[in-house]
Every structure is written in C-alpha cells, then in structure tokens.
Copies of this chain bind each other. A is one copy, B any other.
Amino acid sequence: MLMRMSKLFLRTLREDPADAEVASHRLLVRAGYIRRAAPGIYSWLPLGLKVLAKVEAVVREEMDAIGAQEVHFPALLPREPYEATGRWTEYGPSLFRLADRKEADYLLAPTHEEMFTLLVKDLYSSYKDLPLALYQIQTKYRDEARPRAGLIRGREFIMKDAYSFDIDEAGLAASYDAQRGAYERIFTRLGLDYVIVSAMSGAMGGSRSEEFLFPCEIGEDTFVRSPGGYAANVEAVHTPSPEPVEASLIAGLPAAEVADTPDTPTIESLVEVANATRPKPDGGAWTGADTLKNVVVTLVSPTGVRSLLVIGLPGDRQVDAKRLEAAVFPAEVEPAGEADLAAHPELVAGYIGPGVLGPNGAPRDDTDGARGAVRYLLDPRVVDGTSWITGANEAGKHVFGLVAGRDFTADGVIDVAEVREGDPAPDGSGPLELARGIEIGHIFALGQKFAKALDLKVLDSGGKAVTVTMGSYGIGVSRVLAAIAENTCDDKGLSWPVGVAPAHVHVLATGKDEAVFTTAQGLADELVAAGIEVLYDDRVKVSAGVKFADSELLGLPFALVVGRGLADGVVEVRTRATGEREELAPEVAVARLRDLLASASA
C-alpha cells in the first residue's frame, strides 16, 4: 500500500479544536483522522478509518479464535423486544427513539441482548446446540447527556458485542472465561495496559461483571486496588459495616440533647462551634467523622417521575456522584431543585436531621414521596448504636448524641460515600489505592434475565425445557482506538503501535532537489514491494519543517527522511516512539526498516 500525501484527503491543523479537552481527541482531529459531525458523533477520514479497520481485525481474529461466530444485526430495531425486557423504559433519555411512517416505535440500539436472544430462540432448540458464542462489530447509539473526549464518550460509536449461550452456570463460567481470555489477548496485542476490576452490572443485571480499564488520568472511571489483589470500579466497592453496638451498651449512652449552634450550615463550621461550646466527653476534639451529614438529592425515574432522597453519611465523607448514579440506576440523579424542596418545608437547609426523615418523619404515602416524609437511606457505617452530632431541623440548632437505632432509623442502607485512598479493601487485602481509567471492555455473566424475559429455552438431555444461561461481552472499538492514541501520544502528536498504524513507514522527501524525490519514490516502491505499508510525503513546495511536524503529528511508527543528506549518500530513519534517529545509506534503508518493523511487531 502506497499513499501519497499530495493526493491523500487530509489537512492537518495547527490549532487545537476548541471543544477538545483530552490529548487523543485533540490530536485525532488535528491529524485529520476524525472530524466532528455533531456532538458525540464523528466522521472517519481515510487515516482514521485505516486504524479502525486494524483494531477491528485484531478483535475479530481473537473472537474467531475462541469459536465465536460473527453476525450483524440492524441498528434500527423495533420497540417490542426491548419493551419485553423493560429496557425500552429503563434506558430513559439515553435511548434514541423514533417512529416510522406508520407510527410504529423504533430505537437505535445501544446494545443487542434482546435481538441475540430472540435469534437463538428462533434457530436453536436443544442442549446439543450449546454452547454457542456469537458476536458482531457494529454501530451503536446512546444519547449521552454529556458526550465528551471525542471517541471516548460518543453518541454513535463502534462496539464489538458478543453473547454466549449455555445450558447451565458451569457452561456460562467457561464461556465467560473464554471471553475474558480473548479480551486479555486483544488488549495485549493492541499494546494497551489494562486492569480487570469488579463492576456494577447496571442495565444488564446478572450475577457477575468485570470491566477492563485502561489506567489513564483522563479516564472517567475511578477504580481501586489493594496490595492483596482486590480491584474494583469505585462504583462496585462494597463498604463493610462495622459490627452493630450491643443493645446493653446502647442503653448506657447519654440521652440526645439539642443545642444552639448558630451559623453552622457546613460541617466545618459545625465542628468548630461544637469544639468551642461542647467539648467532646473523651477529651479529644470533635471532627467531621462525628457528625451525620444529610444530603438531599432528586431522583428522576426513567418515566420522568421525580422524588427526593436524603442520604445520611459521616460528615467527613462526600457522596460520590458516580457511586450514587450506579446505586440508583435506572433512576437518574439531579441536584434537588427549589420546586422539589418547596414541597418539603421540614427540610431546613444546613440543619437537616433524621427527626423528620423516613420512618422518623410524618407518615408517608409511598406512591408520592412529596406527601410525607422524604425517603432516608444511611451509609453502611451508620450502624445501630453509633452516636452522632446532626441537624435538629431548625436553623442554628444541632442535636448531640443522637444514637442510630435508639433515636432514629432509616428506610435502608445506601453505599455511595466516596471511597478514599487508604480505606481498607472489603476483602481485607490491605489499604486501597485509587486510580482512574477508561473502560475499554465490560463482560457480564448475565444469567437468565434476558432468556427469561424472552422465553429462550432449549430441551436438556432429559427432554425437559430449560432456560438458557447467557453472558454478554463488549469492547468499545472506537473508544479503544482513542485509548491507544491516548496511551502513546506525546506533545508532538500521535504515535501508533505497528499493529494498528495507518501505515508503517512515512517516507519524507524534503527539499527541492529532484534527486531527492526520485530516490524517495524508489525507496517507497521498494518498501511496498517488501510488503510494508507506506505513506509518502511527495508534496512539492512544502517545507521540510512542515513535513517533519506533520509526520510527528500523524504518528506512523517509522519515518524515512530523504533530504539534504542524500548528496552525502545518507538518508535518515526515525523511530516515532523513541525519537531515535539513524543515518544510513539509501541502499540499506529498506532492510533496516524491515528489521525495525519485525522487532516492533514481535
């Protein structure tokens, strides 16, 4: 393959696009790989499409290698199957919905569990047909509230989604492991570091799910890991509850007392006033951890119903927005608005306490929270017998020594407080370390959720109809491409691994000398004859400086510069990733590049 820059549909940009915050996004646009068509929706230009095809090929090969069979479903799908599983509603505003000319409802599929389930139901009927693994590489749609970072969070994107079908849990475990292994090989081949973490299942349901994260500062996912090998998405971290205090001990605790704490709407101000006015009985100082903070949020159900929720948690912790979102799925979270709060005058901002919340408040009509006490959920740390400073539901007043279980109760537990560096791992494997990452793969042991909803059964060896057990396995192909770019780029531009580069060698003819162009063309032809993919910068009237800058921006693994040195019998080979440069005779350049490519691909 020989591409000529003089003909290539490409314009590199010197300026960063205004909307690009992360390096891969900036550089993929500047280097002319992709172009924004609408928010979160991108066009692929020739070089980008070549990289995409190579990433897809790696994914396809590894899927085929574990016996998964490729199929291809439509993106435009009828409502009914998604209605049957509840996801037509559950997806809320993230689902692109439309009606056809006959007013029949359709959607643009964000994922295809329903369709795969129905297809297998349509074709297969016996345990002998299983196990089965199917996959597709296909365009998916999700109407993200906040598309960002270019290909990393798009609204139209390319995904490999695979599905396994087994007769039982043991079969699912084997299918799951096979996919997990293929994912490890895929990301290794793509040169992407990855961490496998326990994850929340979200819309998928199911018994077990793991994410493959590419560790990276700009990642949207936070994950934790411990020295002992625990790893989880922060959304999936399960905070252990302390042992509840024994009833006999609770009985001995002093009674709660309301105190004036003027101007203490924040935890900091409250701690300060508390230490100044009511010294801690054990002689130490009050801290935020002694206070019970009650945070009000609004939940919006997929059908648009709004309700308030108060979360009680130790005052030294914040509510983690993503943990909260994951915990209340499929509802969405919004800050409590004035209208929401107006219906609940008992909530005194800055001084909210358990006394008016949940079971402690006015009787509640569950069909409409606004008519009674607001639903109240507690952090797992707030176990029975723990004693707190908390709001007294009156401006300027707090209550001291309010004991959980004795003085108040809640509607349940919610584990959404921030996880901190150094918190203990839930499995006792040591203190947690926090890091960020980009989700590049997600695998789900779905179990029977979809098969049950859509009645996918096969006959077992005894002739009995049994529900099929499924798994689903996704890789964000276009996102993976961005992750590779993010992983390898530097301040000068992109820097592709050999396996996914749009071409292997960038041949640059610099200067005006005709001999330079003749030699460069000859070397380009030789490289192509050797099976090496070449991008040849054959532009005349373009300065060497521009060509070098473009070459670094485009990020092919190697460059072969034919320029001024040619008069002295040398050309230059540059390695993009390391910046190494090597002068050599033109006659040996092709062989040298072949060696470099061979060792880079190894």
Contact = CB atoms under 8 A, between A and B. Distances in A.
A119 B35 contact: yes
B73 A46 contact: no
A10 B78 CA distance: 23
A106 interface: yes
27 contacts: A7-B69, A8-B69, A9-B132, A11-B123, A35-B119, A35-B122, A38-B76, A38-B77, A38-B78, A38-B106, A42-B74, A43-B115, A43-B119, A44-B71, A44-B72, A44-B73, A46-B69, A46-B70, A46-B71, A49-B71, A52-B72, A75-B75, A75-B139, A76-B155, A96-B100, A98-B108, A101-B143
A93 interface: yes
Contacts of A71: 9, 43-46, 49
Contact of A76 (B10, B44, B77, B96): B96
Interface string A108-149: 100000010001001110000000101000010101010000
A97 interface: yes
Interface string A512-531: 00000000000000000000
Contacts of A122: 35
A434 interface: no
Copies in the complex: 2
A67 interface: yes
A41 interface: yes
A130 to B, nearest CB: 11
A37 B141 CA distance: 18
Nearest to A4: B67
A75 to B, nearest CB: 7
A37 B7 contact: no
A303 to B, nearest CB: 15
A387 to B, nearest CB: 45
A45 B139 CA distance: 17
Contacts of A35: 119, 122
Contact of A96 (B8, B42, B98): B98
A37 B75 contact: no
Given A35-B119, A98-B96, A98-B97, A74 B9 contact: no
A43 B9 contact: no
A156 interface: yes
A67 B4 CA distance: 11
A315 to B, nearest CB: 35
